[in-house]
Structure 1
C-alpha cells in the first residue's frame, strides 16, 4: 500500500488526491487495527472462559481435564500470568512437577521476584524431593513481590506462604527450622484466628510444648465456646505432665460438648495420672511408695498377659510387689518405679487396657522428662 501511495504521488499527485488517498489509507489501517483488536478480545474472552472452566474442574479433582483447558487459555493469552500459574497448579495437582517447572521457569525468567511463581516452584522442588531448593523458593516467595487482590491482601499472602513452609518443615521433622518460622508467625496469630488455629499442633510437632500451650490459650480467646480447643489444650497439658491442668481442660471440653464421650474419658485418664503421679512435690514418703507400688502393679498386670515381655523382667517386678518395703523408704519407691519403667519399655500398648496404657504412658513420659 505504501509503494502504491508513493507511485501515485509521483505520477498523479495533486493536493486533493493526496488527501483522499491518505484518508483512505488511514481508514483501512483503522479497520485493520479494529479487526485485530476485536480478534484479540475474542481470543482473550475465550481464554478466560477456558480458564474458569479449568478452575472448576480442578476443584472437582479432575486435574487431567483441567490441564487441557488451562493449556489452551495459556496459548491464547501468553501474557496473562494468572493463566500460566493456573496451568502450573494443574500440573502439580496431577503430579507432573517437571511440566509445571517448565512454565514457572518462564515466569521467573521474566520476574525472579514473582512471589506466586516462587511459591509454586517451591512446591515443584518439594514434589521432586529437592529440600534445599524448596526451602530457598519458599523464602523467595515470602519476601518476593505479591500482586494484591481484593480477596487476599499481600500481608495475608505472605503469612499463608510462611504457614505452608512451616507445615512442610513439620512434615520433614526439621524442628529447629520449624520453630524459627513459628516464632515469626506468632504476631499474625494474635489477630488472625486462622493462623492461631494451626500454631499449637505445629509447636507441639517442633517439641515446644510450652508455646503450644500458650498458643492454645490464644486460640481460646478467639473460640471460648469450642470444645475441641479445650481438648487440644488438655492433650498438650497431658503431654507436659501437667495432669491437673489437663483434667480441667478436658472437663471444660466435656461440659461444652457432653455428647463427646472421649473428652470425659481423657479427663478420667488425666485424673488417674494426677492421683498416681510419683513426681509431685511435697509428696510424703508413704504416699510416694503407695503410688509407685500402684504403678508397678499396673505394669506387671499388663505384662503378665503379654508373651513379648521378658519373663525375668515381669518376675522381678512381681517379686517387688510381694516383698516388704519400709513405708518411708524413698529407695524402695525408686526401685519400684524403675522396675515399672523396665516393663513399660518392653510392653506393647495392646497388652494393657486402653485407659491403663494411656495413664502409664503419661506417667512414664513425665518421669523421662
Structure 2
C-alpha cells in the first residue's frame, strides 16, 4: 500500500495520483492571475499616460510653430508696408516654413514677390494657387495686377473680370466695387475710354449711398468724357454731403464741359469758398464768368446790352484774326479765298460797316450773323494758331456750346 504524502508547504495530504498539492496549486494560480491582471492594468495606465503626454507635447509643439509663424508673418507685413519687399519675401518664407499650408501666408509671399519685382516667380506661384481656386477673388485680382505690370491687356481684363465676379471671404460687395474701380482706372490709363465708361456706368448703378465713392466714380467718368453720368453722381454726392469740396468742384467742371456756364460758375464759386487756392477752380470759374459776361443770349438783357456784347465779341474776334495771321505770315488781303482765314477776313470786311451798336440793338438777325462770324473766326484761329486764352477762349467755348447761337 502506497504511503500518503503530505504537502511540505501546507501539511495537507496530497491525493493519490496527483503530483502537487491541489490547495497550494490553486492558491498559486489565483495569485498569479491576480498579479497578471494588475500588471496589465498598470501597463495600460502607463501607456495612456504616455499617449496623453505625447498629445500635449505635440499640441505644444504645433502651438509654438503657430506662434513663430505668426511672428514671421507680422514681421513680413511690417517690412512690406515699409517698402522693404525683399526682406518681406524672406519673412513670409520663414512663416511658411512653420505653416506650410497657410493660404494667407502664401498669398502674401506672392504679393511681396510682386513688390520686389520678381514677376516670373510671383506669376508661377499665383498660377499654382489659382489652379486650386480659380474663383478666388483675391487671387484673380493679384493676377490682374501682375498682367498690368507685364503690359498684358487681355490677361488683365480677364483676371479683373474674374475678380469682379469671383468669391470674396470678407466684404464681397466692397471688394468687387474696388476691383471694378481699379479696372476702370487701368482702362483709362490704356486710353480705352469707351470700355472704361462701360465699367464705370455699371459700377455707378450699384453704388451704395456714399458721397466719397460717388465722387470718385464720377471723377473717373468725367475723365472718360462721360459728363452727363458724372454730373448725376456729383449731384447725388452733394445731396448726401452738401459741403463736399471735391464734389462741388467736379460738378462745376461737369457743367463747364456741358456748356452750362451759369451752373458751372455757381458750383465753382462754392468750391472756391472751401478751397480758395485751387488753381484749376480759379481758371474754370474765371472763364465761365467771362463767357457769361460776353454772351448776348443771356436772359433778361436789354437790347442795348445785347448789342454791346455782340460788338465786343466782333472786335475781339477781329483782333484775334489779325494777330493769328501776322504770326503765321498770312496776308489777309491777298485775295486767296482758298485760305480759311482770308475767307473769314473778307466776310468780316463785308459786314463791318453794319457792326454798330444802334444797328445791332435793332436787328436780331444782324446780331446772329455777327456772332456766328465771331465764333467761326475763333474756331479757325484756334486750329491755325492754337488754343486761345482769356476772352478769345470764352468766345470759342461759347460758340461750341451754342453751335453759332442766336442772341
TM-score range, shorter chain: 0.7 to 0.9
Can you give the 5+ residue segments of structure 2 that lack an aligned partner in the other structure?
Answer: 1-34, 333-338, 356-364
Of 194, 204, 217, which aligns to 1:186? 204
CA deviations over 1:268-306 (Å, ceiling 9, x no partner): 210112333478799989678536525524633663685
Which residue does the alignment assign to 2:72? 50
**Does structure 1 residue 293 correspond to structure 2 residue 320?**
no
Name the SS for the 2:108 alignment partner: helix
CA contact (8 A) 1:234 1:250 kept: yes
Structure-1 separation of matches of 2:392 and 2:109: 50
Per-residue deviation, 1:242: 0.9
Helix, strand or coil for the counterpart of 1:189? Answer: coil
Any conservation in 1 of the 2:227–2:254 contact (CA below 8 Å)?
yes
1:165 aligns with 2:183: yes
Equivalent position to 1:196, from 189, 203, 214: 214
What is the correspondence of 1:301-340 to structure 2 with a 5 Å cutoff?
303=324, 306=327, 324-325=351-352, 326-327=354-355, 328-329=365-366, 330-331=368-369, 333-340=371-378
Deviation at 1:260, TM superposition (A): 5.0
> Are the counterparts in 1 of residues 378 and 395 from structure 2 also a CA contact under 8 Å?
no
Q: Deviations over 1:30-84 (max 9, x none)?
A: 4334333322222221221122122222222222222221222233212222212
Aligned partner of 1:118 in structure 2 is 140
C-alpha distance in 2 between matches for 1:73 and 1:294: 76
Distance in 1 (CA, whole Å) between partners of 2:331 and 2:99 is 71
Secondary structure at 2:238 match in 1 = helix
Contact 1:71 1:87 in 2 (8 A): yes
Residues 1:210 and 2:228 are matched in the alignment: yes
Query: Partners of 1:179 and 1:345 in 2: how far apart?
Result: 29
How many angstroms apart in 1 are the aligned matches of 2:78 and 2:400?
49
- The one of 121, 124, 138 equivalent to 2:160 is 138
Question: Which is further off, 223-232 or 20-29?
Answer: 20-29
Residues in 2 aligned to 1:271 and 1:279: alpha-carbon distance in whole angstroms: 14
CA distance in 1, matches of 2:176, 2:331: 55
Partner residue of 1:9?
Answer: none
In structure 1, the partner of 2:195 is 177
What pairs with 1:191-270 in structure 2 (closer than 5 Å)? 191-258=209-276, 263-270=281-288
> Tell me, which stretches of 5 or more residues in structure 1 are unaligned?
1-12
Change (3 A) 1:79 1:294: farther
Alpha carbons 1:54, 1:69 under 8 Å: kept: yes
State the Cα distance separating 1:247 from its structure 2 match: 1.0
Deviations along 1:300-320, one digit per CA (max 9) or x if unpaired, are 366368559998766666666
The alignment partner of 1:129 has SS state of: coil
TM-score by length of 1: 0.80
Q: Distance in 1 between matches of 2:322 and 2:38?
A: 115
How far did 1:20 drift? 3.6
Over 3 Å counting, the alpha-carbon distance change for 1:114 and 1:66 in structure 2 is same
Of residues 103, 106, 110, the one that matches 1:84 is 106
**Aligned length, in residue pairs:** 350
Cα deviation, residue 210, structure 1:
0.7
Q: Is residue 231–residue 249 contact of structure 1 (8 Å, CA) maintained in 2?
A: yes
Q: CA RMSD in A?
A: 3.5
| Residues 260 and 104 (structure 1), Cα distance of their counterparts in 2 relative to 1, 3 Å cut | closer
Residues in 2 aligned to 1:94 and 1:243: alpha-carbon distance in whole angstroms: 49
Does 2:366 align with 1:366?
Answer: no
Q: Which residue of 1 aligns with 2:28?
A: none
